[in-house]
Amino acid sequence: MSLDIDYYELLEVERTADNAALKASYRKLAMQYHPDKNPGCHDSEARFKAISEAYDCLRDPQKRAAYDRFGKDGVNGAGGFSGGGNGDFGDIGDIFESIFGSAFGGRQQQRGPARGADLRYDMEIRLEDAFTGCSRDIQVDVAARCEACDGSGAKPGTNTNRCSTCAGHGKVRAQQGFFMVERTCPTCQGAGEVIADPCNNCHGEGRVDRRKTLTVTIPPGVDEGTRIRLSGEGESGARGAAPGDLYIFLHMARHKVFEREGTTLFTRAPISFTTAALGGCITIPGLDRKGHEINIPVGIQSGKQLRQRGAGMPVLNGRGHGDLVVQVDVETPTKLSARQKELLAEFRETETGDECPASQGFFGRIKEMWDDLTE
């Protein structure tokens, strides 16, 4: 059969298909045309290799972009190297290792299926939860180890066979120009073994899609963007390979009273003009469920910030707390009784200007400016 077929047609997907669709179609077709399922059929073997080549190209964003623009010429340039004129040699460590050995800096690759992918979960929590710490149950959909075959991918009671393409090494070598390049075997995907009789539950993958419930412990003091790692709770590796990790990224819900900057809590408290003039005390309920008394000094001005030490957020993985900062906003009364208006009128009659030095100074400067303009 001819292998000069469009990669998207080979994988039976649209050109707009995302990575998940590519992966799903590749798995289905690879299972269908696998040489072990079609012994002695050269067409199936050729189709399997072509499908693997197409998937290897399209799952790589850079290779896919080059293929979409230039076709196979954009992926396979002069001398057999991928990447066209830019000379993208794939894993340059593989090239040097195949010529000089690992002593010259070549990266030693691990034989066998790759480790499972890491996963991300975004969680929103309240500021109160960040203050005290808490535990949350979450549900995640992951590719989990197949229990029927214990992740091997083979039907229980059967064995795997050594891969005939790579002779069990997990890698194949190919001449590319002046170099001998070693790559992962496309038949066994680096495992060195192929499954003769796949597990009916996972179809040889060694893992199945599953929703699982996990408990996440959130320590006190976490902040926006704090990352919590759950080791081994990511996607399971194929054919029993090690699982990836699950990373929980925390986000703070907007609070109706407090704003936060590090371990410092900020809030704004309106006070009456009489309290501002005479002084007094206000109580701010803290996240520690205690009332924090804030002393208002005599003559405080609007916008002044008062600090309460140790009433802020706890230090993550440490000791102590930050501070609580209260910004005072002096509120002018808008609803006055007749008696209150009478008292304020009497007060105004006794004003000398010394009660409000800032106001007196400002209007003094205005008078000086006016006198200068009229001279």
| 281 annotated to a ligand binding site | no
In the chain, what are the helix, strand and coil shares in percent, each to the nearest 5? 30, 25, 40
d(Cα 116, Cα 118) in Å, to the nearest integer? 7
Q: Are residues 269 and 284 in contact, defined by beta-carbon separation less than 8 angstroms? A: yes
Phi, psi for residue 209 in degrees, rounded to 5? -70, 135
- Amino acid of residue 351: E
d(Cα 54, Cα 307) in Å, to the nearest integer? 64
- Amino acid of residue 136: R
d(Cα 348, Cα 274) in Å, to the nearest integer? 14
Place of tokens 């290792």: 97
* Residue 102 per-residue DSSP state: G
| 163 annotated to a ligand binding site | yes
- Amino acid of residue 135: S
Phi, psi for residue 199 in degrees, rounded to 5? -65, 135
**Beta-sheet strands, E only, within the chain:** 119-125, 134-145, 160-162, 171-176, 179-184, 193-195, 207-218, 227-230, 246-252, 259-261, 264-272, 280-285, 291-296, 305-308, 324-331
Question: Which pair of structure tokens corresponds to residue 298?
Answer: 């005599």
d(Cα 48, Cα 197) in Å, to the nearest integer? 18
| 146 annotated to a ligand binding site | yes
| 41 annotated to a ligand binding site | no
| 134 annotated to a ligand binding site | no
Binding residues for Zn(2+): 146, 149, 163, 166, 185, 188, 199, 202
Binding residues: 146, 149, 163, 166, 185, 188, 199, 202
